[in-house]
Amino acid sequence: MSSYIIVGAGVFGVSTAYHLKRQIPSASVTLIDRTDPPCPIAASHDINKIVRADYEDIFYCNLGLETLHTWKTDPFFNQWFHPAGLLTVTDGKSRLIEKILENLEKLDAQSGADSFTPREISAKFDGIFSDMRLRPDDKLLFNGSAGIAEAEKALSATIQACLHLGVRYVAAPVSRLIINDKVCEGVQTDDGRTLSAENIILSTGAATTKLIADSAPQQAELQVGPRITARAVCCAAVQLDEQQVRKFKKVPAVAHHAGGTQGETMPPVDGLLKFISDISFQNTVFHPESGQQISVPFTDQRKSQWTSPEYIPSELKEDLDNVIKSLYGKKASGLKTTTMRLCWYVAGVVRT
């Protein structure tokens, strides 16, 4: 019987466990993360996420199309999917929109994606974007086939489905990987337990670089190096009243990357309107055992889960205020941030 340990119970780890156990029912699958499920500092422990195929890289565009098909047709996942569409805004010099359209055409995707003028977009969504900060040469693309997924709800349900399928869940921080002759044979937890399996799968996101450095500090060939970097963006949630819910409930997801605006928003879920500042940052520290500089999430985990805005640095709050005003202008009057978080992810993944 084949055995697997999956470290990290966010969207990648849980999805891997779910599909692995469905495809190989006899396999022994252990899912391990820092807390009882779902882990509140996982990037996927979130209000919602954009599900799209609007990527410049055709590889990811194709994966996005497959993902959208699953969210739309699988009864298990479809209950948390909302076909809100995605509005992408870029500056006039960017070729992102042209590349997205080229990729969709090459893949013969019947997406209905099309370019719009600011006036046309304003009319399409009943004037909600009439105050959006735009310049004359900015480009706009609306893709009605995209949508949003209720992330935390879908994640929690998939974890429960894994347990029903026979996946074992272990709630314990992993301190290091057990590596012998360049082969990973298991993991050791903070409380000293050792777990072993034939296959070890890391779905550890922003914690990957440090975990490998801690596990094999003298093996330079195993280090992550520049291939991926832990980075974070700041997110905010606004609790809407009934009138505000009616005002924003039909908006699409928006990815605005023109001029001084780098941010996103999504339609409200359970009365919460989410915003993201896409101005990312990293936390670089010296790792003495391996002698390298690495980026790691902050040790204060309160910042990495939905929490009071008081724990978030003032400059990040200002970035988010700029995003909100840039997207909605006067329409954002009365919106007050309820909670905020830092969402850590890995940037610069190299495909080979």
Query: What average pLDDT score do residues 40-45 get?
Result: 93
d(Cα 333, Cα 283) in Å, to the nearest integer?
34
d(Cα 270, Cα 273) in Å, to the nearest integer?
9
pLDDT tens for each residue of 45-91: 999 999 999 999 999 999 999 999 999 999 999 999 999 999 999 99
* C-beta of residue 148 within 8 angstroms of C-beta of residue 48: yes
pLDDT beyond 90 at 351: no
pLDDT beyond 50 at 234: yes
Using 50, 70 and 90 to split pLDDT, how confident is the model at 349? low
pLDDT beyond 90 at 209: yes
d(Cα 35, Cα 33) in Å, to the nearest integer?
6
- Which pLDDT does position 182 carry in this prediction? 85
CB-neighbour burial class of residue 45 (10 A; exposed 0-12, middle 13-18, buried 19+):
buried
- The residues, ordered by sequence, that sit 6+ positions from 325 with a Cβ below 8 Å of its Cβ are 133, 332
- Which pLDDT does position 352 carry in this prediction? 47
Using 50, 70 and 90 to split pLDDT, how confident is the model at 112? confident
Could you give phi then psi for residue 337, rounded to 5 degrees? Answer: -65, 130
pLDDT beyond 60 at 350: no
pLDDT tens for each residue of 123-158: 999 999 999 999 999 999 999 999 999 999 999 999
pLDDT tens for each residue of 172-207: 999 999 999 889 999 999 999 999 999 999 999 999
Of 239-243, 284-288, 302-306, 346-350, which gets the smallest average pLDDT? Answer: 346-350
Average pLDDT along the chain: 95
pLDDT beyond 90 at 348: no
Query: What average pLDDT score do residues 327-337 get?
Result: 94
* C-beta of residue 210 within 8 angstroms of C-beta of residue 294: yes
> HEC profile for 299-352?
CCHHHHCCECHHHCCHHHHHHHHHHHHHHHHHHHCCCCEEEEEEEEEEECCCCC
